[in-house]
Amino acid sequence: MSLQPQIEILNWGLVDYREAFRRQEQLVQQIIDQKTCEKIIFCSHPPIVTLGRGTKPGDVFAWKGDTLEVNRGGRATYHGPSQIIAYPLISIAGDDENYVSKKIPPRDLHQYMRALEQSVQKLLTELGITSQTQALKKQVGALDFEEATGVWVGDQKVAAIGIAVKKWITSHGVALNVNEDPDSFQGLYPCGFQTSQVISLEKLLQKKIDSSALTLRWSELLQDVLIKH
């Protein structure tokens, strides 16, 4: 068997969140059963607020749309058609023949999440945007500043991260805010922060974004941070 892992890149386009969630769970089980190869999936969703395992009372207080409890880490957040979402379904177990080609240390969820953030940082750098990860931020109602996951530009978050792992196969992933949507992130504290602390690439660059070209380049960068070539 080749030491280069086979990872299939899929673009599901605009897909209902529940359908995407169902497909992810099926594919994760197929990867566990070695019936299919690892995947990196790109898509976007109709507006929905998902409630991660860390959601707290009061996180969603005036959202009028669809909501769904999910198995990812993190708190409540919004997903919508103005975003590009990346769902890597890959093994970080460290006990498969292909693992020598992975850049992530075995079973290291912390480094895996840092790699996801790094892919976005690299993308933003190419767009001329300086960003930070593990930035010290204070959530709504918190007394102290803590390191916040995701990718930040100053005090505003442009990409959110929430993952799940089953038998060391990852799912869920990164939501990148691409186009401006005034109705997004309303009526909730996204990831525990104020709505005003969320920003899009369109607002940062003051121009519309070519989502297809952006997805293609992000795909290349994600593979670069996850796989040794």
Task: Give the residue numbers marked as catalytic.
Answer: 191
Going from the C-alpha of 119 to that of each of 30, 66, 135, 142, 225, the distances in angstroms are 26, 30, 16, 29, 6
CA distances from 87 to 11, 23, 43, 90, 206 (A): 10, 11, 8, 9, 27
- Are residues 64 and 33 in contact, defined by beta-carbon separation less than 8 angstroms? no
Beta carbons within 10 angstroms of residue 209's beta carbon: 19
Cα 197 to Cα 106, 158, 185, 190, 227: the distances in Å are 34, 9, 10, 9, 32
List Cβ neighbours of 210 (8 Å cut-off, separation of 6 or more).
none
Tokens 């990867």: give the residue: 31
